[in-house]
Amino acid sequence: MSILTPKAVPPRTSQVDEAAMREVLSSFCTGVAVITATQPDGRPAGMAVQSFSSVSLDPPLVCFCPAQTSSTWPKIRAAGRFAVNVLSADQQQLCRQFAVTGGDKFAGVDWQPGLNGAPLLDGALATIECDLAGTFPGGDHVIALGRVTAPASADRVRDTDPLLYFRRTYGRLRSSSSRSASIASARSRSEA
């Protein structure tokens, strides 16, 4: 089994139409998160991402993929630790606020410092605190690997719908009460 090591991405061997690729990839529905950190000078930094994923349970690892051109990513990298704030369906405006370049993204945003000092956004569906474990080249993006140091405590997990992104627009799942009933039903079937 080969292990990916940080190397240069091989040159493109076939022509792929970027517009067509964007269109196809927009068909993959994702959740939305805001990655936050406290910079060495004490100021908060944050960016919206839809490229967040769980990587491993043992050890507990997650990843996200900021663009090489991001002006916020160097601030998060310099902090060396960050928080993943999984957004809820009612936080669409917050997502837009953190998706822009420049300006004070934290203007009017309520947050509390996490155990690692990174901002935990009030109203987030869930939060995960991490240490930056490594970075790897990912073409025009960076693959940032985080080692989980504090998953969301029970009092910071909301029972509500997630914010979803699909075909360049925001959406949501059906109501939480229906989802909770479906999950309970699925669990009872799987335990039988």
pLDDT digits (tens, 9 = 90+) for 11-34: 665 686 666 656 555 544 457 899
Instruction: Please identify which residue in the block is written with the tokens 């090489």.
Output: 68
pLDDT digits (tens, 9 = 90+) for 131-163: 999 999 988 899 999 999 987 655 566 677 776
- pLDDT exceeds cutoff 70 at 191: no
Lowest mean pLDDT among 34-38, 41-45, 138-142: 138-142
Higher pLDDT, 170 or 119: 119
